[in-house]
Every structure is written in structure tokens, then in C-alpha cells.
Structure 1
């Protein structure tokens, strides 16, 4: 090498190596190896850069292959285990049952006539490899369903034993029922299969719902109601129930929900229910049968206000409720309230009720208000008040600015006695008064459920172009009902009565003496119901527990020391004459030392209550306390009523 070239050129070195490898006869070059030991330590081959990309890629591929291998291995193990499990179940058979392998096929009509026969075909197929044991078929019917073998019998549920349903077996059943429901409603019948498996007490179920639509109602109702009515005037509601069913309709009920402002006054058949709902129990209605009911009542409300009557026919939920469980027919009828052309209002003893009440012999005061509601005048006005009834005492009638005819039993006010009635301009108002009384009650009375009918009428002529002289009329009707003469009495005895009394007279301190007590209840004119008589038993007095007659019900509340006689229904005589009932019982009295020198109470706070069946009003009577002074005992001396030491 030349001195000016410290390192051989790259091309010369490669050329020499090439000659040594490929040229014939070339002598290999001798490579000199140094005798120096290598310096310890690692020589860095880079400038702190990352490893070459090729090396990094090879490392990552190694790691990825390792994870994938593990995943594939796990999947393979799981697959093999699944194959083993499936093979075990397939070849061994197993006891596993699925509801999906139980078919319930239902065949029946899509619609049914309410009250007609309903037939449903049921096919149950067991596609499981295991038998179904002690299988039962349960059918849950909608409310109101009846037994086809006994139409009067409810059929809420039907159960049939199917015994065993083998694997692959189909069992077919048919059921019959009589369905009832409102027209165009859908009824649901639940078909339920209950079964057990061999070796298990658990009950398994599979169910299916069958829907059927009611084609028509088993009953129809015809409603007769006017389209409009004046405030305060009576209206008549006619109801006719007609059976469309081919079978007998049992326990049929008619319900009417009154609109606000309607007051029923009388009905051809007395209903039960509440103030807002009337219930008529129609009983059994044969095919084609009819029931007719008429209700008379009175409407109040604003002018042009609509009032709706809701009328339902069906079955009650239970005997002690007014709610219908099944509704066969539901209809609504509407009437419009109209303000009368000439307004009339009448109070009886300050009561605006359509059926006020008063006591027999009581003076009754009536106040009449009138007014022109038309935008035009009314002329030649006349107001009349008719008084009719067997209880009216004609001689008691008095009238202001009017006249009374006892022949016709009518009070009349006209333009002669009341000049303001000659012409009533729009908005004119006025007031009239009259009074009367009924006959007082007597033991010889021959009036049962006494009443006086009041009919108030206005008549006049309308003064309007095209309607000149047209009659304007307003009528108000009321019935004054006269209350029952409900009476109560009580007496304490020692010598008289059905019981033999014991003990000293006068009563002695710390020594018992027995007394006989007589209670009486009576009513005249009207019957009463829920009649009761009760009293407080003071301390030192004991109810002995014996009573006569034994048919009368005496109840003693020892906690509150209340003795009650539950008399119940108490009728008046057939002609209204009074009838009475009595009960007799014993009490025992042991005086205390601090009562010496005084009389003592045997019964306190004595009261009698009842409800008048004619007027509907509650009656309450208070009686004096019964003491040791036996004023009604014929053989008693008053000095024997004072307690001694």
C-alpha cells in the first residue's frame, strides 16, 4: 500500500477476495490475528436507538402465536366436552323435560252468543322423552260462566284428571260451558296443564289463553225517557228488560246510576242500593221473558244542562254489594234540563224537598215564589195550589190574598187578588203564602201512611209577535208525608209482672232487691223498622238476664253497661191504628251506704229509636229514668222507694 493511503480502498479488497475465491492457482491471503486479549465489556453498536424493526417484529409474532395457541386449545377442549355431553344425553336418554315440547292446541268458535253454548276442543301432545305423570287439565272461565248441566250454577273453574301422558302421546278433551258477557267484548278462557315428573313432588304448569268475542247481549233494554224536562217538574223513566237468551238468565240485576240533581220519588218496584244507584233484583228471566219498571222523579240543574242516566243489566259480585261483576248490557240515556218560562218554587215548613214530612196535626206553612224567565211579558197570570189527601183538615186552611174552595180543595191567586199577576214583565218576581194542617192522630184513626198531595200550577198568556196569547204553564208537585206516631214507655215494678221479685222494700244497704222492668214500643199511622230501645245500667244495678217473651232480643254490653232491646220491624194496624210490643225483664239492685235516705236509678238515659218506612225519617224518643220509686205499681207505697240502712 502507498504511504499516502493508510487504508486500502474498498474496491481493492473486494478484488483480491474475488481472485482468491474464483481464480485458478491463486494463493489465499494470510490473515494476521492479533495476540492481544480483547478488552472486557460490551461495545455498544448503536446510538441508544430502538432495536431493528425486524427483530421487534419477530418478538411480537412469537408472543401472538403463543396467545392464539392457548385460545385454540381452550376452544378445542370445550368443543370436545360439549360433544361428550350431547352424546351422553342423546344416547342415554335423560330425564330433562321442556314446556316447549308440550303442545296445547285449542279449537273453538271465534264468536259466541251471550248465554249460548260454548264448546272448546283441547289437544295436548307430549313431545318430551319423559312421561308426564298425574297430569290435570284446569280450565279457568270468565266471571258469569254457567254450568251447561245446571244453568243456575256458576262455573268459575273446571278440573279434569288426565292421569299419565306418555312420551309422544296426544290426549284430546272437550269442554262445554255457557258464557255471558257484554256485546262485542272479548272473553278469555285459560287452559292450564298441571303435571309431575317421576320421582318428584313438584308441580309444573303450562298454560294457554283462548279468546272468544261475544256476538250479542243476552238481554236488551228499552228505555223511555223524555228528551227534555223543566226544573222541578216530575219526569217518568220507563225501563223494559227483554231476554234474548235461549236459556234461563238467573239472578239477573238491573242497576240505574242516577245523574246528579235527580231525586227518585216513587217506583213501580221498590229498589235497593244507595242514593246514587238503584238496584232491582229481577231474579230468573226465561227465554223471551220481560220485566217492566217505572220510576218517577224530579230533576234540578242549570238551564240547558245535560243529565245522563247510566243503565246496566248483569250479575252482582255478591249478595251484600251493589257492584256488578258481569255486565250484559250498558246503555246511557240523556235528558236536557230546561228552565221553565215562568219559574215556580215552593217550600213546605222551610223544606224545598219534593217529599217533605210533618207530624200529624202539625200546622204546615207553604211559601211560593214566582218569576217571569221569558224575554217577553206574560199576561192574565193565575196561580193555584191543589191540596188532596185523606189527612187534610180542610177547616185549617188559611191563605193570604187568595181564596180557598173546600169543594175542590184548591187555593187560587189571580189578577184580582194579586194585581201583579195581570202582567208579568221580564224579570218580575213575587211571593205568596198559605198554611194548612192534618188531622191529629187518635187511637181510632183509620188512616194508614197518611199524606197530602200538593200541586202548584201557574198559567198565563205569552205576549210575543207570532206567539200572541200562547199558553204558558208551569207545574210543581210535592207530597207531604205525615210521620208515624212512634211511642215508647217504660215502668219498674215489684209486686206486679210475670217475675217473682225478692229482697227488702224499702231497699236496704248492701242487700240485693230485684225489680221487674217493662218496656213498650208502639207505632200508629206508619210502620217503623230498626226499632230499638236502650238504657244505661248504673253501678250497683245488674241485669239479671231473664226476659219475657223469650222471642224478644235483649243484648247487654257489660263493658259500656248498655242494655238494648232490638225490636226490629214494628207494623201499624191495617187501618193505621197503633200496635204495640213489650218486653219484660229483671234487674237486681244492691244499694250503697252513701245512697241512704235517697231514691236510686234502676235504668238511666232511656231512649227509643226507629226509622219511619213511609217518610224514611229517623225517629228518636227520650224517656225518664226508672227509679226505686215505683209509681206505676198499684201496690207500692212511695216510702218503700227510699234506701234505708
Structure 2
């Protein structure tokens, strides 16, 4: 009977389309048909039909083994992350405890407190109360307070003695307390300058041999200088003209200053003629001793100033205390000034060419004739009347009998001077604006 049904089903299925066959197979309650072995060709082995139940026990065991194989690595990764977090927290807590002052001993719990003036007059006594405050829970022992002073500091008992540093010892600074020491000094410096004092505290803690250090910088401003200096000088001068400078020095100090130096650096082209009083060192440095309060000193300098038109000639003045290592130079400046004099174009240019050179240096052989050409020009926008010119010859090698000026020049042998004026040279009666000439010369032998 079964065989007859199967033939009948086969006949019915032959007339159905592939889609109808697929649809009928999906909704059929019968067991899926077994594939015909005749479809496997070329020696292929038939594939077992898909199982409707769970995986076999062997396969499930294999998957279980694989999962157990990965578990240790997951826990290892978690353990490493936990260890890293713990390490970072431990380091952070340690740094916080040490730097944050929560530890029993911390430099942040030690403070240097300074009481004193922050602005003084130069030469005035400076009194500083320096306290070491201990906010730790243990005592500080073998404390040394050191003050390192800037240039210009002096001993308050002797202002001529250079002060470099001061030290004070403190045996014990109890916990939660402070101990102070007093330091005295005298500061000199330029007006409106700032002097920095370095304060260093070295100490040990109770029961420890380690040395700790605490530092602080204390600034003191100099309101005014113990001296005032004024200079009187012309703003302009002709090239070759004699100029005069006057220095006025006054004392503002409340105490006597044993010694000060005044240094005046001359510009290039300045030749000193007279100085009153005379310099003490190197022709430009004056020493003033025992300068009493409200004293005044005056220094007058005269000299010739040469240079090109429009050129500025700076005179540099420095006044202060002598250098302890070299008493001939200024060590601590109270005043520093620069006064410039501008070379203006002269009314008349007068240039001498010696042997064709304007440099002024010429080398000649004995009995060789030397020609000196004199060139002049009126630089003013107006005419000049009664012009006068003279040339002086200096030197023992001059052969006076050989001096021969050009036309209209007069040689005065008594002082070796050649003169041109309106009487000897009519063109000098009236020189027009901008007029120039190069007709005058001198011939001479050595």
C-alpha cells in the first residue's frame, strides 16, 4: 500500500512547478525525503542529513574547553588594570603627602617672614627682622639664617666696609612656633634702583641628620641717591672750538662719606686743556675724600672738541664708591649721566691739504719742499665782511727761511704764523654766501 501511495504522490508531483514543490515541502508534516544517492557523482561521499537535535556531546565538550582556555587571559588583563590603578593612586598619595604638607616634616610648613622697609634712601640704615616659622609637628634644630647682600651693601658700623653676607645661628625652633633675628646694613645705589637680598635658612629636623633648605628673595628700592650731580655744557659747538663743562656734586646723605670717585669719560675728538681741580687718576678720575653732609664740590673742564658736522660727542659721568678690589674705578654707582655736544657746521670751512692729503699726517724727507693748500668756504646764507684767516706752523724741524706763502699771505716769523686778511687779500673784504676758494697755499722745507 505504501508503495502505491508513493507512486501516486510521485505522479502528482511531476505536474507541479518547482515553487509549488518548495511550498508544499515547507508546510508538510512528513519527514523530509532522503536525497537520492544517485545525485552524488564523481565518487562524492553522501553528506549526512542535518540533525534536528543539539550538538553531539563531543563538540559541546570541545567548545567548553575553548572557553576555559580564554578565561585566564581575561582575569590577567583585569588584574593588570587594577594593579596600574593602584600604582597611580599610591604615587599620587605619596606626592600629595610630601608636597602637600600633610607629612610630619615638610619644607612647605617652614616659612621665612621678613619685617622691614621696602624703600629707603641710599646710605640709610636698613633694619630687617627675619623670622623662621615652623608649622611642622616636630622641632627644627641647628638652624642657620644667612643674608646675601647685593653690590652696594656696607656694614652699618663702618660704611666703608663692604658687606657681602651675614649669618645668625638658632639652636631650636619649636613645632608650631617661630624664632626671629635682626640684621642691620647700609645700602647704596643709583636712584630708583632695586636691590635684592637673598635669605637662606638651613635646618635639620629632630631625630634626623638630613639638612633642609628654605630660600626667599627680599627686594629693597632706593628712593634717592646720597649725591646729586648736575652738569653744565653747551648743546652745540663748532669743530675745533674750545668747550667748557662744569660738574656740580652735592651730598644728600645724613652721614659723611669717606671717599667717592668721579669719573668723566671724554668722547673721541676731545683734547683736555684745563681741569680744576686736576684729576687724580688717568687724567679723567677725581677722588673726593670725607664728603660731609650738605657738602658741595665743583669740577671745571675745558678742552678742544673736533669732529664732523652733525656728529654727537657724548661725555659720560659716573659718581659712586670706589671698587674694593681697585680703588681707582667706580664700584657702586650713585649717579650715571651722559651729556652730548653736537658738532655744528662752522661759519667758514678751513681745510689744509698737506702734500695732497687731508689726514694731517705727512712724512717728508729733509730739504724736500712741502706744499700746503688752504681751502676755505662760507657756509652761511649771508655774506661775511672782514674775514681773517691764519695758519700756525709748529715744530723745531721747520726751516723758517723756506716758508713761502701764496700771494697776499703774510708770514710772521716771530711765531711762525701765516696771515690772510682784507688788507693782504682783498677777497676777504666781503665773502659772499656759499663762496669758496682754493687759491691760498704755503710752501716750506724741513
Match of 1:139 among 139, 147, 152: 147
Q: Secondary structure at the match of 1:70?
A: helix
Residue matched to 1:415: 422
Which of 350, 365, 376 is the equivalent residue of 1:371? 376
Encode CA deviations 1:387-424: one digit per residue, 9 max, x unaligned.
Answer: 9xxxxxxx99x895437598x99975432333443344
Match of 2:318 in 1: 312
Q: 1:229 offset after TM fit, Å?
A: 0.5
Match of 1:428, SS?
strand
Is residue 128 from structure 1 mapped to residue 133 from structure 2 by the alignment?
no
Q: 1:256 aligns to what?
A: 264
Q: By how many angstroms is 1:163 displaced?
A: 2.0
Partners of 2:84 and 2:177 lie apart in 1 by 40
User: Is the 2:373–2:438 Cα contact (8 Å) retained in structure 1?
Assistant: no
What is the 5 A alignment of 1:149-548? 149-197=157-205, 203-271=211-279, 278-320=284-326, 324-344=330-350, 369=374, 371-374=376-379, 375-383=381-389, 401-402=409-410, 404=412, 413-425=420-432, 426-429=435-438, 431=440
The alignment partner of 2:108 has SS state of: helix
- Count of residues in Structure 1 that have an aligned counterpart in Structure 2: 372
Q: Distance in 1 between matches of 2:438 and 2:347?
A: 13
**How do 1:81-92 and structure 2 match up within 5 A?**
none
C-alpha contact 1:140 1:156 (8 A) present in aligned 2:
yes
Question: Take 1:181 and 1:45, find their aligned partners in 2: how far apart are those partners?
Answer: 106
- Where in structure 2 are there 5+ consecutive unaligned residues? 10-24, 32-47, 53-59, 361-369, 394-399
CA 147–413 in structure 1, closer or farther in 2 if over 3 Å, else same: same
Q: Give the distance between the partners of 2:239 and 2:30, measured in 1 at CA.
A: 136
Report the CA distance shift for 1:100/1:221 in structure 2 as closer, same or farther (over 3 A): same
| TM-score, with length taken from structure 2 | 0.67
State the secondary structure of the residue aligned to 2:128: strand
Q: Distance in 2 between matches of 1:80 and 1:368?
A: 95
Q: Paired residue for 1:105?
A: 113
**TM-score scaled by length of structure 1:** 0.48
- Provide, for residues 466-488 of structure 1, a one-character-per-residue CA deviation record: whole Å limited to 9, x for no partner: xxxxxxxxxxxxxxxxxxxxxxx
- Structure 2 residue matching 1:67: 3-state secondary structure: helix
Which consecutive unaligned segments of at least 5 residues does structure 1 have? 14-41, 354-364, 388-394, 436-645
Give distance in 1, aligned partners of 2:87 and 2:175. 32
**CA apart distance, 1:287:** 1.4
More helix by share: 2
8 Å contact kept, 2:162–2:324: no
Flag the 1:174–1:307 CA change in 2: closer, same or farther, 3 A. Answer: same
Secondary structure at the aligned position of 2:386 is classed as strand
* Alpha carbons of structure 1 residues 294 and 147: separation in structure 2 relative to 1, 3 Å: same
Secondary structure in structure 2 of the residue aligned to 1:381: coil
CA deviation digits over 1:125-168, x for unaligned, max 9? 12233332221111111111122222222222111112222332
Q: Contact 2:228–2:252 (CA<8 Å) still a contact in 1?
A: yes
Q: RMSD value over aligned CA atoms?
A: 4.9
Q: How far 1:337 moved relative to its partner?
A: 0.5
Higher relative contact order (CA 8 A, sep 6+): 2
